[in-house]
Amino acid sequence: MMIEISTDINKAKKILENNELVAIPTETVYGLAGNIYNEKAIKKIFETKNRPFFNPLIVHIYSKDLLHTIAAEIPVKAQKLAKAFWPGSLTLVLKKKNNIPDLITAGKDSVAVRVPNHPMTLALLQSLDFPLAAPSANPFGSISPTTAQHVADYFPNDLSLVLDGGSCKNGIESTIVGFEGEEAILYRLGSISIEEVENVIGKIKIKNNEEKSPNAPGMLSRHYAPKTKTILAENVEKELDLHPNKKIGVLLFQDSSHNPIILSKEILSEKGNLKEAMSNLYAAMHRLDKQNLDVIIAEKFPENNLGKSINDRLERATKN
Ligand code: TXA
Ligand code: MG
C-alpha cells in the first residue's frame, strides 16, 4: 500500500467506514484516525504508531452537543471550557460513558475528548456516524507531524490516505485538562496557554510530570524527540562554544545569533511572536533533523504564556 496525499473528504469517509485508518488534519497536529467503536481499527492505530496499549487515545467529535454521548459526567468547569474553546485545542478528560471501549481509554474510567478546529476534519466528522480516535500521526516518541508530507514520510506504506489540510495553524498538541471532582487539573501543556484556561475557570492545579504512572503519557519525559542529539540552552552563544568542529544546527526564537560556526539556522518568529513560533516549531525540528547534523542547539523560550508550552516540548525533545 502506498500513501496518497489528497483533499478528497469522501474518500476518507469511505476508508473510515471500512474500518481502515486515515491521517487527518487538525489545527494542532495531524492525527491518525479510526472509528472509536471498531476494535480492529483501534488496534491498528496502536500497531501503526508502535504505541503501548496503556497510553489512551483522544476521541474527536464535531460538536460540544455530542459530549454527553461520550462523557457520563460533565463538571461545570468542563462546560465552561468547552464553551470557551471548542472547536479548538483543548482536550477534556471526563468520566466515560459505559459504551466507550476500554481500548480507547486504556481501561481507565475516564475518556479524553475534543472538538478539533479544522474545516475539513469537522466536515468529515459530520459525515460519519461515529467519532474518531486520533493520536498524533507519528511513530511513538518522535516529532509530531504538522504537514501532510510529514505524515507521508513517516508512513509511506502503512496508510492509504492522508487528508491534506495544509500546515497546522497552532502547531503543537492540545492542552489537556482533567478533573478531580469539580477541581480542574492540567495534564498537558499545549496550544492553549495556562493563562487562557485560567481566564475562564480560575486557578488550575498542574499535575507533577515526574510521576511514575502519569495520567497523560504526553507528560512522559522523552517524547516529541528528534533523532539528532538536541540541547536546550539558555545562552546559545555559550553553548556554541562548547561544540568546536561539530556540524551544528540552531533553533532560535528570533534571529539572535550570527555566529559563523552555525551550519543551519531555524528562526521560529522574526518578530518574536510566541504563537507564530509555536506554529513553526515542529516543522523546523523536522527540517533540522533531516540534515545529518551532529547537534541541534535549541534556545530556551521566555517562561510565560505559550513560551511555557514551547519549553515543555523542547525539554522533552532534549531529554536523553
Ligand atoms: O492535539 C492533539 O491533542 C492531537 C490531535 C490529533 O488531536 N492528538 C494528540 O493525541 O496529541 P496523542 O495520543 O498524541 O496524545 C493524547 C494524550 C496522551 O498523552 C494520553 O495519555 C492523554 O492524551 N489521554 C488520553 N486519554 C486520557 C485519559 N483518560 N486520562 C488521562 N490522559 C489521557
Ligand atoms: Mg503524540
Instruction: Count the Cβ atoms, other than its own, within 10 Å of residue 74.
Output: 17
Can you give the pLDDT at residue 58?
98
Q: What is the pLDDT of residues 220-232, one digit of tens each?
A: 556 778 999 999 9
98 is in an annotated binding site: no
Can you give the pLDDT at residue 208?
62
Which stretches in the chain have pLDDT values below 50? 210-214
222 is in an annotated binding site: no
Q: What homologous superfamily does CATH list for 230-318?
A: Threonylcarbamoyl-AMP synthase, C-terminal domain (3.40.50.11030)
Q: For the chain, how many residues are written?
A: 320
Q: For ligand 1, is residue 13 a contact (CB within 6 Å)? A: no
Q: For ligand 1, is residue 218 a contact (CB within 6 Å)? A: yes
In our burial notation (b when 16+ CB lie closer than 10 A, e otherwise), range 155-167 reads: beeebbbbbbbee
136 is in an annotated binding site: yes
* 187, containing H or E segment: strand 183-188
What does the alpha-carbon distance between residue 208 and residue 201 come to, in Å, rounded to a whole number? 20
Q: Let me know: does 105 contact 53? Beta carbons within 8 Å.
A: no
Q: What is the pLDDT of residues 203-220, one digit of tens each?
A: 999 986 544 344 555 555
What are the backbone angles phi and psi of residue 250, rounded to the nearest 5°? -125, 150
ipTM above 0.95, yes or no: yes
Can you give the pLDDT at residue 215?
53
Question: Would you say the C-alpha torsion 211, 214, 219, 221 has a positive or negative sign?
Answer: positive
**Residue in this structure with the C-alpha cell 507519528, named with its chain if needed:** 138
224 is in an annotated binding site: yes
Who's near 149: CB < 8 A, 6+ residues apart?
5
Identify the CATH class of 4-219.
Answer: alpha beta
Can you give the pLDDT at residue 213?
44
What does the alpha-carbon distance between residue 266 and residue 278 come to, in Å, rounded to a whole number? 13
Nearest CA to ligand 1 atom 30: 215
pTM of the model as a whole? 0.96
Ligand nearest to the CA of 33: 1
Residue 218 CA to ligand 1 center (angstroms) comes to: 7
Can you give the pLDDT at residue 212?
39
| Domain limits, the chain | 4-219, 230-318
115: helix, strand or coil: coil
Residue 282 CA to ligand 1 center (angstroms) comes to: 17
Residue 56 CA to ligand 1 center (angstroms) comes to: 7
Neighbours of ion ligand 2 (CB under 5 A): 136
DSSP 96: B
Say if 4-219 and 230-318 have the same CATH topology.
no
What residue type is assigned to position 127 of the chain?
Answer: S
Can you give the pLDDT at residue 217?
55
Can you give the pLDDT at residue 258?
95
Ligand nearest to the CA of 36: 1
